[in-house]
Amino acid sequence: METALRGRNHLADYSGEYKADLLLNAFQIGAKYQRYIFSFNKFDVGYQLNAGLILTDFYLDEILIIYDEEIVNSGISLDNTGLFIEPMAKASYNLFESVNINLSTGYNFNLKSDLEFYRLQTGVYTNWSGLRFQIGIDYSFDFSAR
């Protein structure tokens, strides 16, 4: 799963301008375990547990110009690797033999992790924790012997 957040702060008047472009990316890599505990006709209800790594990159590009003179023009890149665990409740509807539509909700717990600048600690932290809602389509491969 990928998450991206962008921001821009731009102020300008007759004396100059300040512009800051921010980009925060996160890539989530992990494993999922799911189990259904209740079934009725084509409906299944259960839980799933996701856990793994979150790889985060932060980019900041700043420009400060005063009376046509460039005072600051800098770019900064920070990154880190954090851990997450995500318990979820899941409901599923079986459309066909191997195809399900599912709806899940849960909470992502992200352990606090420091953004680094060339392996130096910065004191800037990421926290991707929060409520999650998911809707999706699953396709199951049947590897059982026939």
Rg from Cα positions in the chain = 22
Domain contains 145: no
Question: 8-31, pLDDT tens digit by residue?
Answer: 999 999 999 999 999 989 999 999
Domain contains 34: yes
**Mean pLDDT for the chain?**
88
Question: 25-64, pLDDT tens digit by residue?
Answer: 999 999 999 999 999 999 999 999 999 999 989 898 999 9
d(CA 84, CA 104): 17
Question: 87-103, pLDDT tens digit by residue?
Answer: 999 999 999 888 999 99
Domain contains 144: no
Please give the tally of structural domains in the chain: 1
- Cβ distance 27 to 58 under 8 Å? no
Tell me how far the alpha carbon of residue 139 is from its chain's centroid: 23
Domain contains 78: yes
Domain contains 146: no
> Which is nearest to 109 in space by CA: 56, 61, 59, 50?
50
Mean pLDDT of 95-118: 87
Domain contains 73: yes
Q: In terms of residue numbers, what domain contains 37?
A: 2-139
